[in-house]
């Protein structure tokens, strides 16, 4: 009986979720200006960019079929999302994204990539690097840092790389860290065209480059303030962009 009740609850939850998702999609579509692109952010976003349909996993679970008609979307964007799902689920999401993209549509992924992570070099003489270590590592490892101090081991700063990689996998629920090379080749095999690797802030259309510019330095959620810093600082992320 409990199993049956559980199944019924899941079915009801799915029905309600799909109802509200369709309502959200239709509302967004109805408010588009003539000629305006249909732009979707999957997995939520750190800031509320106007003109985008922003869907958290409560609306659209990207490990499941996407609730969009074929060839109905112009731009798909994700930022630090795909590393939170398995490799197999990510392949499924890429296939589904290609299905719902219009011809010429853009698939843009921002995520930590192995090439960038393995080449990371933070300098204890650089103010930005020190601020990154403080914001991204010391906040998670305060007790560990105190122990290092008591052992006269120059606190966490000297061993930042060890704590950086532990933090990458331990604190954020990551499941699979991609390499840009692997992602590019997978997308090509799935039939995407013009697949390229970009740096943060660059891409085929600047209007689609809405990712953080200063990851780990600016900790707020106002994208205008993030841009106002006037520089790009991201020691984790690379961008892969593909055209259908």
| Mean pLDDT, rounded, for 150-178 | 90
Decide which of 232 and 22 is more confident.
232
pLDDT value of residue 3: 58
pLDDT of 72 higher than 70 = yes
Q: Where are the alpha helices (DSSP H) in 31-86?
A: none
Q: Which residue ranges make up each domain of the chain?
A: 2-115+175-243, 116-170
Q: Which of 215, 193, 191 is nearest to 204 (CA)?
A: 193
Q: Indicate the helix (H) or strand (E) that contains 95.
A: helix 87-100
Weakest-pLDDT range from 31-35, 105-109, 179-183, 238-242: 31-35
| Mean pLDDT, rounded, for 140-167 | 91
Query: pTM to 2 decimals?
Result: 0.90
Tokens for 229, please give them.
């810093």
CATH class, range 2-115+175-243:
alpha beta
Q: CA angle, corner 42, sides to 36 and 47, nearest 5? A: 80
What length does the chain have? 244
CA distances from 72 to 68, 97, 102, 135, 153 (A): 7, 10, 6, 40, 57
pLDDT value of residue 102: 98
pLDDT value of residue 47: 84
User: What pLDDT, in 10s, does the model give residues 186-234?
Assistant: 999 999 999 999 999 999 999 999 999 999 999 998 888 999 999 999 9
CA distances from 103 to 28, 39, 53 (A): 21, 14, 19
Position 35 confidence tier, pLDDT thresholds 50, 70, 90 = confident
Q: Which residues of 144-160 are buried (b: 16+ CB within 10 A; e: fewer)?
A: bbeebeeeeeebbbebb
| Mean pLDDT, rounded, for 38-60 | 90
Please tell me the distance from the alpha carbon of residue 162 to that of residue 131, in angstroms, as a whole number: 17
Position 170 confidence tier, pLDDT thresholds 50, 70, 90 = confident
CB 155 within 8 A of CB 161: no
pLDDT value of residue 14: 61
Q: Give percent above pLDDT 90 in the chain.
A: 71
User: What pLDDT, in 10s, does the model give residues 114-147?
Assistant: 999 999 999 989 999 999 999 999 989 999 999 9
């Amino acid at each position: 009986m409990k199993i049956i009740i559980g199944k019924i609850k899941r079915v009801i939850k799915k029905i309600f979720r799909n109802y509200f998702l369709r309502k959200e999609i239709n509302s967004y579509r109805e408010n588009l200006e003539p000629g305006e692109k249909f732009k979707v952010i999957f997995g939520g976003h750190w800031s509320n960019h106007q003109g985008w349909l922003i869907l958290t996993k409560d609306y659209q679970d990207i490990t499941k079929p996407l609730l969009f008609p074929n060839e109905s979307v112009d731009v798909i964007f994700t930022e630090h999302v795909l590393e939170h799902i398995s490799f197999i689920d990510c392949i499924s999401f890429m296939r589904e994204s290609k299905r719902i993209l219009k011809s010429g549509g853009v698939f843009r992924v921002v995520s930590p990539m192995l090439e960038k992570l393995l080449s990371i070099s933070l300098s204890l003489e650089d103010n930005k690097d020190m601020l990154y270590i403080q914001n991204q590592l010391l906040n998670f490892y305060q007790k560990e840092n105190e122990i290092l101090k008591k052992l006269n081991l120059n606190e966490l700063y000297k061993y930042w790389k060890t704590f950086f990689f532990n933090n990458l996998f331990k604190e954020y629920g990551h499941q699979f860290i991609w390499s840009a090379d692997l992602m590019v080749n997978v997308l090509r095999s799935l039939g995407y065209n013009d697949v390229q690797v970009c740096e943060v802030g660059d891409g085929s259309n600047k209007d689609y480059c809405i990712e953080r510019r200063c990851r780990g330095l600016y900790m707020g959620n106002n994208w205008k303030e993030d841009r106002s810093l006037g520089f790009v600082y991201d020691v984790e992320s690379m961008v892969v962009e593909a055209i259908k």
